[in-house]
Amino acid sequence: MKFNFHVSPSLKGSLTTQKIMLELTVGLMILFLLSCFYNGTTYGASYVLHEVLLLVSSLVTMFICESIFAKIYKENPIAYMKKSFGWVTSIILTLMVPITMTVYALIIATIFAIVFGKLLFGGFGQNIFNPAGVGRAVIFAAFTSAAATGITTGATPTAYLANTFNWLPASAEALDSFLSQYGGFANLALGFYDGALGETFTLAIVLIGIWFCVRKIIDWRVPVVYLGTIFILTAVVALLSGIDSYHGIPAFIWYPFLHMVTGGIVFGAVFMLTDPVTSPTSAQGRVIFALGAAVITVLLRLKANLPEGCLYSILLMNMFTPMIESSLDGVQLVVKKKAYIMAGCLAILGLAVSFYAATSVEPVTTAATEKTAMMETVRMEETL
Amino acid sequence: MSLFLGEMHHHIPGRKGLTEKKDIISLMPEKEVYIPLAAGANTDFEIFVSGGDKVQIGTKLAQTKSGFFVPLYSSVSGTYMGIKKRMSAMLKPMDHMVIALDEAQTKTQALMPLDYHTATREECVEQIKQAGIVGLGGAGFPTYVKYQKPDGIDCIIINAVECEPYITADYKIIMKDVSHFLMGCEIFKKMADVSKVYIAIKKTHPDLIQVVQDALHDKQGMEVYPVPDVYPMGWERVLVREILHTEYDRLPSEAHTIISNATTAIAAAYAFEKGEPITKKIVTVSGEGVKNPTNVECPVGTPVQEVIKACGGYTTDSVRLIAGGPMMGRTIVNDQFVIDRATNAITVLPNVADDAIACLRCGRCSDHCPAGLQPVRIAMAVNAGDAKEMEKRGALQCIECGLCTYVCPSHIDVTENVRKAKRTVMLKKKK
């Protein structure tokens, strides 16, 4: 008879990190399959093949990198990977690149994501930056024109919006000329247009996000606060810049929706901003984290040279994570007041950004002709 | 749940079905009982009997010399054999008074019965004090202390929540003896000098709520307050948050309330009606590691070994034997320890290997901590060896409910990290 000692409690819950990562993988693979379906039906089997090749090459690269580190730590590579969850980074990174991405660029980005983004910090749980975000930033900085031969697609909505309309299509006419390229709001929400592989399927991502929130895979606060803040800030921009209503829908409704359905913010909100490793641990911290990311996203979208702001807002806020955490240390019921003040300050900052954007961005009221639109847009600028 | 705070509690499957509907079995010790010479952490006792003395059920054996006054009474009749060091439920060897049982099992009147209707408030408190009634929810804190000065108290809360998984002892006792339960509530009501009594019972026990409500029909100022089936609902702070919607710093009296356990109320009723101290306990013996889980009634001081034997023994060779429930109870490394007054359960679980992986910083521990602490941040301070940060992050407010470990998806013993922080801070304060 053996009476074992164990520190209390002797009971543990059924939700494990392994299960969380598994469900996350399933959610990501649904997006990958949707993307295969879109590229297959629009461009043909060779595109699907290229897409699968992208994912496989990223996974193999991840496998090699993690195995080398496992060897360094004198651990079994498979056992090491089972608690390192590198494949999630690989899939997210793949879903963030467009179909035109070359395999070698993705391989290099994966190396940066896995090795420099995660393993060098000490492995899973220790990294400061979102590893997939690091990989995507590498592609963005070094391989913007690395397009695979024989693979061409149309312009992406964010690039088109940014270049042709300054993110402010101010009349129904201008909006119509934009929407006609992508089959209207409904198709933008469904996601059957060119862009990064996984980020276009807004509706599907929202549904997956709700599933994750219900199953406690991610914290509901992060996507809700992030997207909610972007919605409010862009609504304020719409009101201040006095853009027209669209077929009876007032601007402060359709304009935020336009932001939601284009680009990668919904993907970023559900899959990247919620990465527990790189976001604060307390609920208060996460709210402030998401709020800050939203303000930066709106600022970058409307005022920066980049067509998109989501990726850099995430990486920037990752840097603030340790600061947010240490400023909110202590008993949560007590530091709550501090969190209110911080959130209040960020909200004011956000409104200031809206005001700045609304007064300094030139609204575009004329419809763009289809030809100029296609000429102007730079194919590879699509990013989160 | 709010935007800026997590849930601060969590539903844990209760597994109460293992014992809930089974009859209570009565057990007498085979040869001897061992009464621990302890009142909480206090082991400084004056002993009134000497080796070879005959004692009866209710004979006063000892009382504390320092700290709070707590008397000890014999739970059986027989011969006092002296003092022996044995393993205790506190996971350390402790002095126990050994009494060899006789056949007759005769009783003596420990105290004179007292009618709480006619007695003064002070007399009532004195009766509780002399009967040695301690909090039976697990902590074993002398009950009279809480009721000595009820200034500013508006209401009392009777805790019949029993939020620890597996345990059904409170449920069984109240179901069996609802009249004494309500008598105890009235005694507490009188001692606290209040007009309002909340009886907190889990919503998931509608049968118990019904039984208590039916018995309550003519009692003024007492009501059943159904509470959600979450852990740790039975902690005073969570009860005050749920029922009175307020927070307090150190003691519930700051929130103008006193909280007492349901079985304490029943013990108080017997102390008044019959003048009896606590001599018998009903404990839940449950868990997947014991063959026939059930509730057992036995004298205080019965060795756990015999209790387990009465329940059919163990199901496997390697178990965790827990004094109490699986969340807050301590695992004891042998089955020599005994049932004490504050013991309400013995839980036996098959041993499982630890399988912790790296913290993913998900913050579930911080979201669920009923004290609003951030266990992950305290653990970081422990790893950094920073005692100042441990204190700033509120480690001392931890009651070791164990919920942070339970919710951790990486299966890290988070509670143990916070416990380390508490020890470090305490050590630093002593210096």
pLDDT digits (tens, 9 = 90+) for B316-351: 999 999 999 999 999 999 999 999 988 999 999 999
Q: What is the pLDDT of residue A369?
A: 60
Q: Of the candidates A96, A99, A254, which has an alpha carbon nearest to the alpha carbon of residue A189?
A: A254
A329/B389 touch (CB, cutoff 8 Å), yes or no: yes
What digits encode the pLDDT tens for the residues A84-119? 999 999 999 999 998 888 999 999 999 999 999 999
Q: Is A338 on the interface with B (CB under 8 A)?
A: no
A332/B397 touch (CB, cutoff 8 Å), yes or no: no
Q: What's the rounded Cα separation, in Å, for the pair A251 and A244?
A: 6
Residues of B in contact with A225 (CB under 8 A): 3
In Å, how far is A275's CA from the nearest CA of chain B? 8
ipTM computed for the complex: 0.88
pLDDT at A174 over 90: no
Q: Which of residues 203-222 of A touch B (CB under 8 A)?
A: 216, 219, 221
Q: What is the pLDDT of residue A192?
A: 87
Q: What is the pLDDT of residue A382?
A: 42
| Annotation: binding site of B for [4Fe-4S] cluster | 359, 362, 365, 369, 398, 401, 404, 408
The mean pLDDT value for A160-178 works out to 83
pLDDT at B129 over 90: yes
B405/A329 touch (CB, cutoff 8 Å), yes or no: no
What digits encode the pLDDT tens for the residues A197-238? 998 999 999 999 999 999 999 999 999 999 999 999 999 999
Amino acid in position B158: I
B408/A5 touch (CB, cutoff 8 Å), yes or no: no
What digits encode the pLDDT tens for the residues A124-168? 999 999 999 999 998 888 886 666 666 666 677 887 888 788 888
The mean pLDDT value for B166-191 works out to 94
A332/B369 touch (CB, cutoff 8 Å), yes or no: yes
Greatest C-alpha distance within chain B: 66
What digits encode the pLDDT tens for the residues A281-320? 999 999 999 999 999 999 998 888 776 788 999 999 999 9
Q: What's the rounded Cα separation, in Å, for the pair A24 and A36?
A: 19
The mean pLDDT value for A348-375 works out to 78
Q: Which two tokens stand for residue A161?
A: 């919006």
- H-helix or E-strand spanning residue B157: strand B155-159
Concatenated DSSP letters of B239-282: HHHHHT----SS-GGGGTEEEEEHHHHHHHHHHHHT-----EEE
Residues of B in contact with A329 (CB under 8 A): 374, 377, 389, 392-393
Nearest Cα residue in chain A from B372: A332
Q: Of the candidates B51, B52, B47, which has an alpha carbon nearest to the alpha carbon of residue B37?
A: B47
Q: Is A73 on the interface with B (CB under 8 A)?
A: no
Q: Domains in chain B, start-ordered, CATH in brackets?
A: 121-273 (3.40.50.11540), 364-430 (no CATH)
Residues of A in contact with B326 (CB under 8 A): 9-11
Q: Is A325 on the interface with B (CB under 8 A)?
A: yes
List beta partners, residue B321: B348
Q: What is the mean pLDDT of chain B?
A: 93
Q: Is B328 on the interface with A (CB under 8 A)?
A: yes
In Å, how far is A259's CA from the nearest CA of chain B? 24
Residues of A in contact with B400 (CB under 8 A): 8
HSE-up (13 A, CA, CB side) for residue B323: 26
Q: Is B212 on the interface with A (CB under 8 A)?
A: no
Are A288 and A350 spatial neighbours (Cβ–Cβ below 8 Å)?
no
Q: Is B116 on the interface with A (CB under 8 A)?
A: no
The mean pLDDT value for B148-154 works out to 89
Q: What is the pLDDT of residue A380?
A: 40
Q: Is A106 on the interface with B (CB under 8 A)?
A: no
Amino acid in position B291: K
Q: Is B391 on the interface with A (CB under 8 A)?
A: no
pLDDT at A373 over 50: no
Q: Is A118 on the interface with B (CB under 8 A)?
A: no
The mean pLDDT value for B160-186 works out to 94
Q: Is A123 on the interface with B (CB under 8 A)?
A: yes
Q: What's the rounded Cα separation, in Å, for the pair A338 and A318?
A: 20
Residue pairs between chains A and B whose CB atoms are closer than 8 Å: 168
Q: Of the candidates A200, A180, A178, which has an alpha carbon nearest to the alpha carbon of residue A190?
A: A200
Other Cβ atoms closer than 10 A to A22: 14
